[in-house]
Chain A
Amino acid sequence: MPKSFTYRCALVLAAIAAAAWLPVAAAEPWTDEEAEILRSLSLNSLESLPAAGGNAVADSPAVARFGHRLFFDRRLSSNGGIACATCHQPERRFTDGLQKGVAVGMSKRNTPSIVGAAYSPWLYWDGRKDSLWSQALSPLEDPNEHGSNRAQIVAVVAADAAYRATYESLFGAMPALADNETVDRVFSNIGKAIAAYERLLMPGPSRFDRYVEAVTAGDRERQAELFDADEIEGLRLYVGKAECTQCHNGPLLTNHEFHNTGVIAFPGEVPDKGRASGVRLVLADPFNCLGAFSDASRANCAELEFVRTGPELVGAFRTPSLRNLAGTAPYMHKGQLATLAAALQHYNDAPPAMIGHSELAPLKLNSRELQQLEAFLLTLDAPLATAGEWLRPPPD
């Protein structure tokens, strides 16, 4: 065999061997600047939970245990059949898989997840609540949700011997429920207990978070084990051309802000005003940060005190976290988009808003890129970081 032929063969074999490693070799290493952006999205960058200024008992384990019971208690409803967990189902990442929540009636909007919600300064799609404890009160009195009212809710707690004893050990003697303010006080404490439980619901590290650790360590072999070529390209689009991090930034992949993205109205309904109505409601809410039942000082209510108002908020909705997307379809404020592919197509098309002005511009991604983006987004799914006992109804 001529030497040159052997040499040529060796070259071809080397090329084939290199091709087998192509997925590793093809992935361009992340620049330092890109790696920094990836780290900013990782759960390792999640800061400790901000203090719940308005809820002095937010971090009490005993209060959280009480809240856990209340969260799963169906007696807190007009028909005895609806608990918080009816719509916020632990096995579905605290959503319900429906376009709009179904309880006593049909809710007006899609059931958002509660996981990581304690980090958000605003609750609900329209941000009409500014704390977890205040939010927890609203569904109890919504005719389509628990369908109850504060007097009934407080009466359930006062009449149940175990609840009453727990309440008194945590909040002091149960007062005679003789006037509205007293009822409101007990009612607000019930919200604070549910909020203390909800503060425990935290997202767990996903494959993406492990990938970022491998990027930080410069371990390319581990990176290739964790992400395939499509997922890497999807992540590149996420932080680059698709501009997802404009709104879905930080470790929870949300800026907790309100944006009009031109999502079409729910069939048969007039377009939802979103934040424009939410901001009016939160400012008028007696259970807001500055209200009589809040434990916060004025200095701890900066979000409410400096809240933005104005026409830009028409049709704007709160940016949801993108963690655990796989289990939380359908998407958008009324569950208008059934699949993740449909949601991505919406951002790619960027249709004009039916109400207000959409902030989107068409992304001009091709179908392959949309698939890659979707592949990346699915890497954000992970079991909760919360201990299993909190994800089940409490034992009797």
Chain B
Amino acid sequence: MKRIRNSTAVTVLVCFSAWAVALAGEHDHHRDQHHWMSAQGLYEVRYTSALQPIEINRIHGWVLHIETEQGDPVENAEITIDGGMPAHNHGLPTSPRVTKYLGDGNYRAEGFRFHMKGDWQIRITIAAGGKVDTAVIDMTL
């Protein structure tokens, strides 16, 4: 009986911890490893880099995938990209931009290059159907 009680306690503890960690992650960053929610929760952003892994000093392109919170692809949005390294008080060394809408919520973005190792933030501002929101992709190179 004692053993059962102990194992139950452990299970509860583990479950609670997992839930707490998951909640904390969601609360802090609105993202997991592959998805980034925009600040107001309107859009979810994913990206796929043509250069994998991303290395410094190489210009390359990404495909951005934009969905609504409900999981519907966001069509023909106006997207602007900026960012930089907050710790070094400088922006991106290039001006990446969306060059083509590929359909199904996918957008080709070209002209990314990162010239330092460290923590980068890429801000993706999405305007669709009169609703504007910005997702911040945190990235460590």
Binding site for B on A (CB under 8 A): 121, 245-247, 249-250, 255-259, 302-303, 305-310, 312, 357, 359
Binding site for A on B (CB under 8 A): 56-57, 59, 88-97, 110-111, 113, 115-118
SS class of chain A's interface: helix, strand, loop or mixed?
loop
For A309, what are the chain B residues with a Cβ–Cβ distance below 8 Å? 95
For B118, what are the chain A residues with a Cβ–Cβ distance below 8 Å? 246
Output the least CB separation between A161 and chain B (Å).
44
For A259, what are the chain B residues with a Cβ–Cβ distance below 8 Å? 90
CB pair A250 B56 closer than 8 Å? yes
* CB contact under 8 A between A255 and B110, given known A249-B117, A310-B91, A359-B89: no
CB pair A359 B88 closer than 8 Å? yes
Distance A306 CA – B60 CA, assembled complex (angstroms): 11
CB pair A306 B57 closer than 8 Å? no
CB pair A256 B59 closer than 8 Å? no
Partner of B92 from the list A245, A246, A308 (CB cut-off 8 Å) is A308
11 more A-B residue pairs beyond the given contacts A259-B90, A306-B59, A357-B89, with a C-beta to C-beta distance below 8 A: A121-B59, A247-B116, A249-B56, A250-B57, A255-B93, A257-B93, A257-B115, A258-B93, A306-B97, A308-B92, A308-B93
CB pair A306 B88 closer than 8 Å? no
30 A/B residue pairs, CB under 8 Å, sorted by A: A246-B116, A246-B117, A249-B56, A249-B57, A249-B117, A250-B56, A250-B57, A255-B57, A255-B93, A255-B116, A256-B57, A256-B115, A257-B115, A258-B93, A302-B59, A302-B110, A302-B111, A305-B110, A306-B94, A306-B96, A306-B111, A307-B94, A307-B95, A308-B91, A308-B93, A308-B95, A310-B91, A312-B90, A312-B91, A357-B89
For B117, what are the chain A residues with a Cβ–Cβ distance below 8 Å? 245-246, 249
Residue of B nearest to A249 (CB): B56
For B94, what are the chain A residues with a Cβ–Cβ distance below 8 Å? 303, 306-308
